[in-house]
Amino acid sequence: MLAYTYIEHEKFELIEKPKPVISDERDAIVKVTLASICSSDLHIKHGSVPRAVPGITVGHEMVGIVEQVGSAVNTVKPGDRVTVNVETFCGDCFFCKNGWVNNCIDQNGGWALGCRIDGGQAEYVRVPYADQGLDKIPDSVTDLQALLVGDVLATGYWAANISEIKREDTVLIIGAGPTGLCTLQCVGLHQPKRIIICDVDESRLAFVRECYPDVLTVTPDNVRECVLSHSDHGGADVVLEVAGSNDTFRMAWECARPNAIVTVVALYDSPQILPLPEMYGKNLTFKTGGVDGCNCKETLDLIAEGKIDTVPLITHTVPLKDIAKGYELFESKRDGVIKVAVTMD
């Protein structure tokens, strides 16, 4: 089969590999029908994910059809249409039982697919702990509608859920990339009074104005004034930092009102400074971390009910044979690209 593979620093290549086989009774083999490209794939390519293993097939956001299951798999069977979870988790350890699946103690726990074990920018993928890692897609939901469920939508859903959003709140989201836009939709489920989204990229803000006309858009130079004039207590009640630039961590806590929640979804290339003397008396609560991606069933149901729709985010599609062009487009942010889907035909 064809598999897009991390060869070495700065080099991914589409190569022929053997089809994966069941190697544990809790595995499933999934025939991938649609995959997508994520900013974390670019981080592997550019060497900022040291635990990524050269030779692995990349890709950790995909949907497909179950082809084969191990003898201990109970929740899915061959022929089922499924989403694949970005995280591998056993479901049995202390952390899994508390819903902190990002910290599963299994040797492959956390983000392993497309990083430490073969992922899904390929015709087939082996999914460990298939009862945890796969969710059946409802009949009324298409593969395209379900494509982002396992990774960026899981992240947005998790981030909105941990942010303690209330109806009277002004919520500021920094970053309108794929993850920020998924976060925006999930924040909307909590029905805060106002949502403001900040990005440097005017085309992304234009996309927000077109798709979510109730959301206020702002660029970084005006963000403080905008938040002040659209909040009731001198700053945002909740801030979600989903950009990960040099200055966005500072922007996040500076735009927050005293006693606000600041949720840091972004991953940074360099350490960030927590200037406690400057913050003293602001009494902020920070929440950070890797997504606990165990809510895919709920998000699939919300998609089926029409309450979440990530299809507009998938702006481009390429066949697997042209995946390198898809990467080039995604990385260049040309042509209004937000997400690129990869088909297997």
Which residues form the interface with ligand NAD (CB under 6 A)? 39, 152, 155, 174-180, 198-201, 204, 220, 242-245, 247-248, 265-267, 290-291
| Residue 184 touches which member of Zn ion, ligand NAD, none, C-beta under 5-8 Å by kind | none
Q: Are 232 and 170 in contact (CB under 8 A)?
A: yes
The nearer residue to ligand NAD, 75 or 268, going by C-beta atoms, is 268
Dist. CA 178–CA 181, nearest whole Å: 5
- C-beta of 2 vs 311, nearer to ligand NAD: 311
**Residue range at the interface with Zn ion (CB under 5 A); choices 104-112, 195-203, 308-316, 318-326:** 104-112
Q: For residue 104, state whether it binds Zn ion (rule: CB under 5 A).
A: yes
Give the residue carrying structure tokens 């940074």: 268
- Provide the minimum distance between the beta carbon of 241 and ligand NAD in the complex, in angstroms, as a whole number: 8
Using CB under 5 A as the binding rule, whether residue 40 contacts Zn ion is answered as yes
Q: The tokens 């635990």 sit on which residue?
A: 51
Q: In the set 52, 62, 69, 90, which binds Zn ion (CB under 5 A)?
A: 90
Does residue 93 touch Zn ion according to CB under 5 A? yes
Residue 94 Cβ vs Zn ion, minimum distance, rounded to whole Å: 8
Tokens of 259: 């006693």
The CA–CA distances, whole Å, from 278 to 33, 247, 263, 283 equal: 51, 16, 19, 11
Distance CA 264, CA 248 (A): 10
> Which lies closer to ligand NAD via its Cβ, residue 69 or residue 291?
291
> Any contact of residue 151 with Zn ion (CB under 5 A)?
yes
Q: Does 38 bind Zn ion (CB under 5 A)?
A: yes
| Nearest to 202, CA basis, from 24, 333, 63 | 333
Measured at CB, which residue is nearest to ligand NAD? 177
Three-state DSSP class for residue 34 = strand
| Alpha-carbon distances, residue 277 vs 244, 281, 286 (angstroms) | 23, 9, 16
Tokens of 251: 């922007």
Applying CB under 5 A, the site for Zn ion has a residue count of 8
For ligand NAD, give the closer residue by CB, 180 or 188: 180
Smallest distance from ligand NAD to CB 325, Å: 18
68/102 with CB nearer ligand NAD? 102
- Residues forming contacts to Zn ion in the complex (CB under 5 A) are 38, 40, 89-90, 93, 96, 104, 151
